[in-house]
Chain A
Amino acid sequence: MTALGKLFRTTVFKLSLVYLVIFAIGAGLVLMRVGMHVKELFDDQIDQTVDAEIQGLAEQYRQGGIRRLVASVERRANQPGSSLYLVTTFAGERIAGNVAQLPLGVLERPGLIETRYARMDGVVAEHRALARIFLLQGGFRLLVGRDLEDRETLRGVMLRAMLTSLGWLVLIGTAGGIFVAMRVLRRVDAMSASAQTIMSGDLSRRLPQSGSGDELDRLASSLNAMLERIGELMKGMQEVSDNIAHDLKTPLTRLRNGVEEALRHERSPAEYRASLDKVVEEADGLIRVFNALLMIARLESGAGQETMQDFDLAEVARDVAELYDAVAEEKGVTLTLDADGPLMMRGGRELIGQALANLVDNAIKYGAPEDGADREKIVKIMAQRRGARMELTVADHGPGVPAQDRARVLERFVRLEGSRSAPGSGLGLSLAMAVARLHQGALRLEDNEPGLRITLDLPAGRRP
């Protein structure tokens, strides 16, 4: 595409052309209206003066007869100017005046008419005139008029002025269109050049902004925000795959090392058995991680609709509390339950149960107060209705999760420093999050002052 072709193809240029045409038509209409108005004013004025003269001449005819009228008309007709006079007999023969010729039948029609005529002063040129014909007593006809040359000249001048200014308008408008289009084109070109760079791999580049805050700037800033988000997602993906690599490779390496170690020397059957047991254990751990990953992926793609049913959330909370009660007690943690049922809702009972189990499991594992902290080891499970929503909350008095890490811990495999050494896959919260999303709900992490307070916020999804 040539540079000019590119320019003419821009929206800005096309828009300015359209605007120009509309403006030119508008201006033309206004000038036409002014022209007509001028003509009307002109004609009105002629009409009035002609009328006055006719009144005067008719008065002279009444007082002094045809002789006085003729004398008066001759005197006026000989004066220079655009005034026209003619007195004829009833048959149309000229008696006095400065009009030589009129089209046939003009004199028969009394009233104001616009007509062609020929002047008496030798030059047989066709002129246009506005005239009034008056029927005098005795059959004489009196014509008084004005030549229209002035009016026509004015109209010509106006027409020329109009055309000239329209010409200028088109010229300036086109130039302006090109100028603006070029400016926009330059910025769009800069933006698409940046986009090309970004596409070819430099994800840290951003689209240029002029800082004027105009629509192109707003577009660029939206696109930049989008790029920012994409970058974050890419980084997240990168982290996930790094974590997958780490969290799957570590047990795989241990598994492989165990087998190699067992194969290296002759051993007693009991030692082989112990090694193989460890291998099975590692393999089970890997299977567990795979299953959890698969389940999260399936939930995120919307699976689980088959398991939706009406159930009592308070009962699920009781079940999970009861399930974990013994484990908690063994670790010296007090597990309390606050769930007044029934809290009927629609959803995946088992999925929500599993999500809650993960949250409670986490709270018991990681929610213990730091050594030396004078706080009770307590984990609270609460289930309650809040309008059309249900809330399942698990709160502990442990070290909590710093505000800046709260979004991150929901990601797959993310485990905070200090918990990496504890057993676990780092998928528990991701699974709870996936369950929340499947139900169009949310998972909220808040400060329990002190400790962590996680709420699974679910729509009840059930007609009351």
Chain B
Amino acid sequence: MQAMKILIIEDDREAAAYLVKAFREAGHLADHAADGLEGYGLASEGLYDVLIVDRMLPRLDGLSLIGGLREQKIETPVLILSALGQVDDRVKGLRAGGDDYLAKPYAFSELLARVEVLARRRGGASAEPTVYRVGDLELDRLGHCVTRAGKEIVMQPREFRLLEYLMKHAGQVVTRTMLLENVWDYHFDPQTNVIDVHVSRLRAKIDKGHAAPLLHTVRGAGYMIRDGAR
């Protein structure tokens, strides 16, 4: 993962300082704006890969800020942070032009994974390949078939979508809630380990009998598919 330029627009200085430090430790460049207007000024130059915007900001609130940027045709991906509940808030945030939404309090690993996926979206604006490849694992999106080392693996439709999402973000951490959101299209916190069970089934299908595992568990964060040989 190459370094991203991230702008954090957050009025809580302590939280912002923590985020800036954490993103820098993760190998990214992070700037901080303490209020809506300052953030708007910095973001409207269009130099950032991802914006992290708190919903409630002094001087210019988060949703208006996003609306203003979108009006100026600045399409930098935006992740909205909010301390409010998740019921209507997510819908409002996404409607205002946000690309992703995370309720406070959150785990940094979750935020990092989401920001990296958003940045990738910006970088890879070119057409998605029709075949994803990770090591000797191949997923043909048009032909709906999966092969490993040339041998076909039979997949249920949902397993196929799960693998497709993981392979689309190969080399990136994908969290459980991201999987539930993108593969099942639900945005709640799965109480039990439902996602883990699905992933371990998938793992059994693609990694069993192969020396090099491709699907890895990232402790405290989620999952990642990558070619271990590299």
A residues within 8 Å of B by Cβ? Answer: 277, 280, 284, 287-288, 291, 294-295, 297-299, 303-307, 319, 322-324, 326-327, 330, 350-351, 353-354, 357-358, 361, 364-365, 424, 428
Interface-centre pick from A277, A299, A323 (highest chain B CB count, 10 A)? A323
Please state if B85 and A294 are interface contacts (CB–CB under 8 Å). yes
| Shortest Cβ distance from residue A232 to the other chain B in the assembled complex, whole angstroms | 28
Please state if B192 and A323 are interface contacts (CB–CB under 8 Å). no
Taking the complex as formed, is B37 at the interface, i.e. its CB lies under 8 A from any CB of chain A?
no
Complex Cα distance, B87 from A297, in Å, reads 11
Offer 24 A-B interface pairs, CB within 8 angstroms, sorted by A: A277-B220, A287-B105, A288-B191, A291-B86, A291-B103, A298-B85, A298-B87, A303-B87, A303-B88, A304-B88, A306-B87, A307-B87, A323-B180, A323-B184, A326-B197, A327-B192, A327-B193, A330-B197, A350-B187, A353-B186, A357-B188, A357-B190, A358-B191, A364-B192
Complex Cα distance, B177 from A291, in Å, reads 15
Contact of A304 among B87, B107, B197, B220 (CB under 8 A): B87
Please indicate the chain B residues that have their CB under 8 angstroms from the CB of A357 in the complex: 186, 188, 190-191
Q: Which of B183-219 contact A (CB under 8 A)?
A: 184-194, 197-198, 201
Q: Which of B36-74 contact A (CB under 8 A)?
A: none
Please indicate the chain A residues that have their CB under 8 angstroms from the CB of B122 in the complex: none
Taking the complex as formed, is B145 at the interface, i.e. its CB lies under 8 A from any CB of chain A?
no
Please indicate the chain B residues that have their CB under 8 angstroms from the CB of A299 in the complex: 87
Q: Which of B65-123 contact A (CB under 8 A)?
A: 85-88, 91-92, 103, 105, 107
Please indicate the chain B residues that have their CB under 8 angstroms from the CB of A298 in the complex: 85, 87
Please indicate the chain B residues that have their CB under 8 angstroms from the CB of A287 in the complex: 105
Please state if A327 and B194 are interface contacts (CB–CB under 8 Å). yes
Taking the complex as formed, is B158 at the interface, i.e. its CB lies under 8 A from any CB of chain A?
yes
Please state if A306 and B92 are interface contacts (CB–CB under 8 Å). yes
Contact of A365 among B180, B189, B192 (CB under 8 A): B192
8 interchain residue pairs of minimum CB distance: A306-B88, A326-B197, A354-B188, A298-B85, A303-B87, A304-B87, A306-B91, A327-B197
**Secondary structure of the B side of the interface?**
loop
A326-B197, A327-B192 given; A284·B107 CB < 8 A: yes
Please indicate the chain B residues that have their CB under 8 angstroms from the CB of A358 in the complex: 191
Contact of B85 among A303, A330, A354 (CB under 8 A): A303
| Shortest Cβ distance from residue B212 to the other chain A in the assembled complex, whole angstroms | 25
Please indicate the chain B residues that have their CB under 8 angstroms from the CB of A305 in the complex: 88
Complex Cα distance, B191 from A365, in Å, reads 11
Complex Cα distance, B220 from A284, in Å, reads 11
Residue of A nearest to B202 (CB): A326
| Shortest Cβ distance from residue B188 to the other chain A in the assembled complex, whole angstroms | 4
Complex Cα distance, B156 from A326, in Å, reads 12
Please indicate the chain B residues that have their CB under 8 angstroms from the CB of A327 in the complex: 192-194, 197
Complex Cα distance, B192 from A365, in Å, reads 10
Please indicate the chain A residues that have their CB under 8 angstroms from the CB of B85 in the complex: 291, 294-295, 297-298, 303
Beyond contacts A291-B189, A323-B184, A324-B194: 11 other A-B pairs, Cβ-Cβ < 8 A, are A291-B86, A291-B103, A294-B85, A306-B91, A306-B92, A307-B91, A326-B194, A327-B194, A353-B186, A353-B188, A364-B192
Residue of B nearest to A428 (CB): B191
| Shortest Cβ distance from residue A290 to the other chain B in the assembled complex, whole angstroms | 9
Complex Cα distance, B191 from A428, in Å, reads 9
Please indicate the chain B residues that have their CB under 8 angstroms from the CB of A428 in the complex: 191
Interface-centre pick from A277, A327, A351 (highest chain B CB count, 10 A)? A327
Please state if A361 and B158 are interface contacts (CB–CB under 8 Å). no
Complex Cα distance, B85 from A280, in Å, reads 21
Residue of A nearest to B187 (CB): A350
Interface-centre pick from B91, B92, B105, B188 (highest chain A CB count, 10 A)? B188
A303-B85, A361-B191 given; A319·B198 CB < 8 A: no
Complex Cα distance, B191 from A361, in Å, reads 8
Please indicate the chain B residues that have their CB under 8 angstroms from the CB of A297 in the complex: 85
Complex Cα distance, B219 from A277, in Å, reads 10
Binary flags per residue of B17-40, CB closer than 8 Å to A gives 1, else 0: 000000000000000000000000
A350-B186, A354-B188, A357-B188 given; A280·B220 CB < 8 A: yes
Please indicate the chain B residues that have their CB under 8 angstroms from the CB of A322 in the complex: 158
Interface-centre pick from A280, A288, A294, A326 (highest chain B CB count, 10 A)? A326
| Shortest Cβ distance from residue A162 to the other chain B in the assembled complex, whole angstroms | 77
| Shortest Cβ distance from residue B72 to the other chain A in the assembled complex, whole angstroms | 26
| Shortest Cβ distance from residue B86 to the other chain A in the assembled complex, whole angstroms | 7
Please indicate the chain B residues that have their CB under 8 angstroms from the CB of A326 in the complex: 194, 197-198, 201
Please state if A319 and B201 are interface contacts (CB–CB under 8 Å). no
Residue of A nearest to B86 (CB): A295
Please indicate the chain A residues that have their CB under 8 angstroms from the CB of B158 in the complex: 322
Please state if A361 and B192 are interface contacts (CB–CB under 8 Å). yes
| Shortest Cβ distance from residue A361 to the other chain B in the assembled complex, whole angstroms | 5
Complex Cα distance, B104 from A291, in Å, reads 9
A353-B186, A353-B188, A354-B186 given; A323·B194 CB < 8 A: yes
| Shortest Cβ distance from residue B218 to the other chain A in the assembled complex, whole angstroms | 13
Interface-centre pick from A288, A354, A428 (highest chain B CB count, 10 A)? A354
Please state if A307 and B88 are interface contacts (CB–CB under 8 Å). yes
Please indicate the chain B residues that have their CB under 8 angstroms from the CB of A294 in the complex: 85
| Shortest Cβ distance from residue B85 to the other chain A in the assembled complex, whole angstroms | 4
Contact of B189 among A288, A303, A319 (CB under 8 A): A288
Complex Cα distance, B192 from A322, in Å, reads 14
